[in-house]
Amino acid sequence: MDNYIVSARKYRPATFRSVVGQKALTSTLKNAITSDRLAQAYLFCGPRGVGKTSCARIFAKTINCLNPTADGEACCECENCKAIERGTSMNVVELDAASNNSVDDIRGITDQVQTPPQGGKYRVFIIDEVHMLSSAAFNAFLKTLEEPPKYVIFILATTEKHKVLPTILSRCQTYDFRRITIEDMVEQMQYIGQQEGIKTDPHGLEVIARKADGAMRDALSIFDQVAASSRGNITYESAIENLNVLDYDYYFRLVDMFRTGDISSALLLYRDVRAKGFDSLFFLNGLADHVRNLMVAADPRTAELLETSKDVAERYTKQATSLPLQWYYAAMKVLNDGDVQYRTATNKQFLVELVLIRLSQLLKPATPPFDLVDCDFPLGDITDAARVAAPSQSTPQTVAHRESLSERSDKSDRSNGSDRSEAPRIRKRSVSGFRLNDNSVQEKVAQYAEQRKEHRERVDLEAFTRAWLAYQQANQQQHILTSAMRNSDPRQTGEEAFLAMVGHPAEVQAFELAMPQLMAFLRQQLRNDFLTLRVEIDPTRAVSKQLPPQEFLKECVEKNPALGELLRKLQAELA
């Protein structure tokens, strides 16, 4: 009985043609070989499991092949090719820098550099995870890397390019390996399934590819795992069950609930997800990914960013059209806030439920005054203030209740000997520092309601200038800005567009720093939420030349003789 070999090893690419998902890069390497334009050092960088080390071995095999093909591939049949495949060739030396990162390890490499190739043209030194080398090892390697013998080629591989010294990077040709796409991984796993007699379902393979996150080696390891557990029949159900992946159908149903504002169903579905043993943060992140995919699918220009099968992409596109684009932006904000708060939340289940409630209310927000819960005053004050502010909406029961309270209040006053001639009124009580029925609370409710209205009144230059001057008077402590505003020449360039011309870049910077506050003030004063302001430097203004201190002082003395007399009395020198 033959020993079992895992798919990642058994189907490891042996030629450039068989490398998955790196066609552009492998074509460049083949062209370099066929044209005999080989560099002395290469740097292969990219995520794990995308073929860096495999390409390094194929490269070493191809340049030492005794009978290369016309398109720059190794024959895989000659003595050199077979020796490299078996790992017995003296012309290919591999070093794992993750566990061999000392100066002595590098010196062992530099010593072997002096030995010429045996039966081939080149000796190839492959150093994997090169970023793990110590600083001393890097320095010991520099000289050899810069001036190796003509028969030596170094191939450095790393997953963290930013950790490699710039002096090393400058001596290498860099090749960036990209993440393997889901389509490429599914195609490769289908091929392996055919070779191994394993039944495969494209949806199940897509689940495996998503779990692998762009790494072909990880995908093949998961492929073996699911194939073993499902007895050679990989389906969508067996993949999500074995990998503990949440079915995307849950997310499609959830978004339908958000669209209709069905909070109860959303909470019950979340309960079912928790009952299946899924982590709440995993659920939250999966929902965020689903909303992102819907946003991408909503626009045909970005639909190609979807990494999914064609029929699932069509399902995303169909659901995406049922919601306005702004909903996705708001939903992603809510989900991102939930993800940030999850780590510090005491009751994580409650936090996720609150996120689901908010998502369900994006299209059907709470009615006033309950939409003010995020304001800086208590909900109790808001509700009472709203009742007082809108007595016409009172029900007969609330009116009777207030009359009953008034009657009891009058009886109490009469029993205490007080003779009240004014109309009965409800006693005020204090809640969280505010008094119910307080005028200040009513004013806040009215102000908030007024602010929520969209203002777009017509604005002329005269009104804009008045508001412009009013901001200067109210913010005189902002010396640089108010000075810039005085020196500017505001003019109207459109119905709602204005331009301020200044004479120095520092004044432009002063406007940029204060622009949010300035625009909020102008829009409120002029009752137009669509005003725009552009600040530019006036090229016709003469920019004063900044003089050195000594020359500046001399110029001041020339203009002010009294200052010169004072300096002479103080025996001060100008130079």
Which residues make Cβ contacts (< 8 Å) with residue 342, sequence separation at least 6? 280, 281, 284, 348, 351, 352
Confidence of residue 548 (pLDDT cuts 50, 70, 90): low
253 and 233 housed in the same domain: no
24 and 57 housed in the same domain: yes
Q: How many CA atoms lie within 13 A of 83 on its CB side?
A: 16
271 and 169 housed in the same domain: no
Select from 477, 505, 257, 504 the least CA-distant residue to 362. Answer: 257
309 and 296 housed in the same domain: yes
Cα dist from 122 to 33, 55, 118, 408, whole Å: 12, 16, 9, 105
Select from 150, 187, 155 the least CA-distant residue to 168. Answer: 155
pLDDT for the residue 372: 54
- Which CATH number do you get for residue 300? 1.20.272.10
Range of the domain at 473: 461-537
Quick check: 453 pLDDT over 70?
Answer: no
More confident residue, 428 or 296: 296
Quick check: 433 pLDDT over 50?
Answer: no
Of 150, 176, 202, the one marking the end of a domain is 176
- The pLDDT tens digits for 341-370 are 998 889 999 999 999 999 998 887 666 656
Single-letter code of the amino acid located at 368: P
Confidence of residue 567 (pLDDT cuts 50, 70, 90): confident
Single-letter code of the amino acid located at 523: R
Select from 502, 499, 497 the least CA-distant residue to 486. Answer: 502
194 and 164 housed in the same domain: no
Of 152, 176, 200, the one marking the end of a domain is 176
Handedness of CA 182, 185, 187, 192 (dihedral sign): negative
H/E stretch holding 502: strand 497-502
61 and 194 housed in the same domain: no
CA 484 to CA 219: how far, in whole Å?
61
Average pLDDT over every residue of 243-270: 89
Q: Is residue 162 part of a domain?
A: yes
Please tell me the pTM assigned to this model.
0.57
More confident residue, 426 or 47: 47
Confidence of residue 4 (pLDDT cuts 50, 70, 90): confident
Of 155, 176, 197, the one marking the end of a domain is 176
pLDDT for the residue 355: 93
Confidence of residue 102 (pLDDT cuts 50, 70, 90): confident
Cα dist from 572 to 40, 205, 509, 528, 548, whole Å: 68, 87, 37, 58, 18
Average pLDDT over every residue of 108-129: 88
pLDDT > 90: what percent of the chain? 21
End-to-end CA distance of the chain: give it in Å, rounded.
99
CA 371 to CA 117: how far, in whole Å?
78
pLDDT for the residue 334: 92
pLDDT for the residue 177: 92
Q: Is residue 147 part of a domain?
A: yes
143 and 17 housed in the same domain: yes
Quick check: 381 pLDDT over 90?
Answer: no
According to DSSP, the residues that pair with 92 across neighbouring strands are 124
441 touches 385 (CB < 8 A): yes
Q: Is residue 35 part of a domain?
A: yes
109 touches 101 (CB < 8 A): no
Quick check: 378 pLDDT over 90?
Answer: no
pLDDT for the residue 498: 92
Confidence of residue 2 (pLDDT cuts 50, 70, 90): low
Q: Is residue 545 part of a domain?
A: no
More confident residue, 407 or 225: 225
Rounded to an integer, what is the distance from CA 570 to the centroid of its chain?
64
DSSP string across 128-168:
ETGGGS-HHHHHHHHHHHHS--TTEEEEEEES-GGGS-HHH
Q: Is residue 372 part of a domain?
A: no
82 and 137 housed in the same domain: yes
- The pLDDT tens digits for 135-190 are 888 888 888 888 888 899 999 999 998 888 888 888 899 999 988 888 888 999 99
Confidence of residue 445 (pLDDT cuts 50, 70, 90): low
- Which CATH number do you get for residue 227? 1.10.8.60
Domains: count for the chain: 5
User: What is the average pLDDT value for the chain, to the nearest integer?
Assistant: 80
pLDDT for the residue 124: 92
Q: Is residue 523 part of a domain?
A: yes
From its phi and psi, is residue 571 left (phi > 0), alpha (psi between -120 and 50) or beta? left
- Which CATH number do you get for residue 166? 3.40.50.300
Looking at the chain, the number of H-run helices and the number of E-run strands are 25, 12
The residue assigned the tokens 């067996």 is: 238
pLDDT for the residue 441: 53
Average pLDDT over every residue of 42-53: 90
- Which CATH number do you get for residue 481? 3.30.300
- The pLDDT tens digits for 485-536 are 988 889 999 888 999 988 887 788 888 888 888 988 998 889 888 888 988 8
Q: Is residue 189 part of a domain?
A: yes
Q: Is residue 570 part of a domain?
A: no
480 and 430 housed in the same domain: no
Segment among 53-62, 344-353, 421-430 with least mean pLDDT: 421-430
pLDDT for the residue 254: 92
More confident residue, 336 or 311: 336
Range list of β-strands (E), 171-315 = 173-176, 199-200, 233-234
329 and 292 housed in the same domain: yes
Which residues make Cβ contacts (< 8 Å) with residue 323, sequence separation at least 6? 255, 259, 294, 298, 363
78 and 204 housed in the same domain: no
157 and 261 housed in the same domain: no
CA 207 to CA 245: how far, in whole Å?
8
Segment among 198-202, 262-266, 372-376 with least mean pLDDT: 372-376
